[in-house]
Homo-oligomer: A and B are copies of this chain.
Amino acid sequence: MKACILSIGDELMSGNTVDTNAAYLSRQLLAAGIEPVLRETVGDNRSAVAEAIVRAASRADVVLVTGGLGPTADDVTRGALADAMGTELEMDERCLADLEEFFRCRHREMVVENRVQAMIPRGAWALPNPIGTAPGLAAKIGRAGVFVMPGVPREMVEMFETGVRPALPASGRAIRQIALHTFGAGESNVFAMIRDLMSREGDVTVGTTISEGLVTVWVTSRAGTEEDAERQALEVVEPLKERLGEIVIGEGKVTMASVVGQLLRERKQTLATGESCTGGLIGELITQVSGASEYYLGGVVAYDNAVKERLLEVPAPLLAAHGAVSEAVVAAMAEGVRRKTGADWGLAVTGIAGPAGGTREKPVGLVYTALAGGGGTKVAKAIVPGDRPLIRQRAAMAAMNMVRLALAGARKG
């Protein structure tokens, strides 16, 4: 069973908005056993949208369209769907009543422009929008089911969950996808480690991607039943995990920060951070996880040397002798933040994120990380390639990975 996804909007076409809806819908379709085979983005142009709908409907069993349902003149998707169906728009009294109710409930005036949102192509039916004004649309064109949703991501997700997913055709196929996230080896190194287990053919395929500083190995398994898809996937995942060893940080929806958080929570230990070149990024990533207050106390963003001295008690002579980006200073930062906050673990990072500030001895990308705990302080040094955002991200990830390895290692031992 195949699907096409159409994203409508000049703001997408001009590159001013990045389309996240299509990626969401792709994942949802795959989970329902339906393969997305084509995605298209089209501007707010009625004939271009109509053509795209007709073409998509001729190629797929399911067509998902987002965007262009607003009340203004640049919202053309309703009319385009009517054109694609070879029919016309007509006022849907039930939709109009819902729309009037929506405005009444919110004590907002309904302007005349909004009335157009209650018009639907003859032969189509409306999909309720629980959180916005634009109802969605559903129709049949040939053998294809066509579903039109708003472009606003929150409204789109809500409508997909409540109105579209339940109406998707049964695929008779189950697709199970498992993501193994790794940190500590480049994509080509990961590839070299598992080359013989990678496969592009057959019912189970294995591929890699890089995102958010992690190299992820994707196992996608297709079968007639969910149980078979799961079993097939696990038969590949287990040897992959064994081969990749400790660079695997976790599976599925985890992040480095959530893995570190889970390890700290299990051991009832606390963490504090002293950040220089990352400027607060580690704290930000760790506190993205709801409930981080259980194990994260906080820390110091010691961007300026005076802050390293005043708030982390890094000795001035140490800074003078070694410079802020050095093994001695990063260790003092980690120990300082641990001592000042009373955390079990003090984690610190200092480095040269660039683009300015590099020297021959201390090039852009030089990063020191340190982890101070009850058993002493460990320091690591790395030269990270990339630009400023990438160096900061890799530095933050490398620092959190020190905590992961220290805690996971201790757990095993």
Interface residues of A (CB under 8 A from B): 10-20, 22-28, 30, 36-44, 48, 72-74, 152, 154, 177, 179, 191, 198, 200, 207, 209-211, 216, 218, 220, 272-273, 275-284, 286-288, 290-293, 296-304, 306-307, 310-311, 340-342, 353-356, 386-390, 392
Within the complex, the shortest CB–CB distance from A341 to chain B, in Å, comes to 6
Instruction: State A276–B19 Cα separation when bound (angstroms).
Output: 31
Measured between beta carbons, the chain B residues less than 8 angstroms from A277 are: 287
Q: Which B residues are in CB contact (< 8 Å) with A340?
A: 310-311
Question: A264 to chain B: closest CB distance in Å?
Answer: 13
Tell which of A209, A297, A298, A354 has the most Cβ of chain B within 10 Å: A298
Contact of A292 among B14, B286, B303 (CB under 8 A): B303
- Shortest CB distance A286–B (Å): 7
**Which of B191, B207, B290 meets A355, CB within 8 Å?**
B290
Are A211 and B17 in contact, CB atoms less than 8 angstroms apart? yes
Contact between A39 and B36, CB atoms less than 8 A apart:
no
A352 to chain B, nearest CB (A): 11
Cα distance A16–B178 in the bound complex, in angstroms: 11
Among A18, A287, A302, A355, the most chain B Cβ lie within 10 Å of the Cβ of A287
CA distance A301 to B271 in the complex (A): 12
The smallest C-beta distance from A249 to any residue of chain B, in angstroms, reads 17
The answer for the CA separation of A48 and B290 in the assembled complex, in Å, is 42
Say whether A14 contacts B40, CB under 8 Å. Answer: no
Q: Which 7 A-B pairs have the closest CB atoms?
A: A279-B287, A280-B283, A280-B280, A15-B26, A39-B41, A298-B303, A15-B27
The one of B28, B39, B387 that contacts A13, using a Cβ cutoff of 8 Å: B39
Q: How far is the CB of A177 from chain B (nearest CB, A)?
A: 7
Distance in angstroms between the alpha carbons of A43 and B220 in the assembled complex: 14
Q: Is the CB of B207 within 8 A of A10?
A: yes
Measured in the bound complex, the distance between the Cα atoms of B14 and A216 in whole Å is 14
- Which residues from B are CB-within-8-Å of A23? 12, 15-19
Determine whether the beta carbon of A280 is less than 8 Å from that of B306.
no
Q: For residue A307, give the distance in angstroms from its CB to the closest CB of chain B.
A: 4
Q: Are B297 and A280 in contact (CB under 8 A)?
A: no
Q: Inside 8 A of A177's CB, which chain B residues have their CB?
A: 14
A288's partner among B283, B306, B389 (CB-CB below 8 A) is: B389
Contact A298 B307 (CB under 8 A): yes
B43 close to A37 (CB less than 8 A): yes
Please measure, in the bound complex, the distance between the C-alpha atom of A152 and the C-alpha atom of B387, giving whole angstroms.
Answer: 14
Across-interface contacts of A26 in B (CB, < 8 A): 13-15
| Pairs across A and B, CB under 8 Å, 24 listed | A11-B218, A12-B39, A14-B177, A15-B22, A15-B25, A15-B27, A37-B48, A275-B280, A279-B283, A279-B298, A280-B287, A280-B301, A281-B284, A287-B301, A288-B388, A290-B356, A297-B303, A298-B304, A298-B307, A298-B311, A307-B341, A310-B342, A311-B340, A311-B341
Which B-chain residue is minimally distant from A281 (CB atoms)?
Answer: B284
- Is A218 a contact partner of B16 (Cβ separation < 8 A)? yes
Q: How far is the CA of A129 from the CA of B15 in the complex (A)?
A: 24
Q: Report Cα–Cα, A23/B298, bound state, in Å.
A: 37
Q: How far is the CA of A300 from the CA of B278 in the complex (A)?
A: 13
Bound CA–CA A20/B389 (angstroms): 16
Given A11-B207, A37-B48, verify A341-B306 contact (CB < 8 Å). Answer: yes
Query: What residues of B have a CB within 8 angstroms of the CB of A298 in the complex?
Result: 276, 279, 300-304, 307, 311
What is the CB-to-nearest-CB distance from A30 to chain B, in angstroms, rounded to a whole number? 6
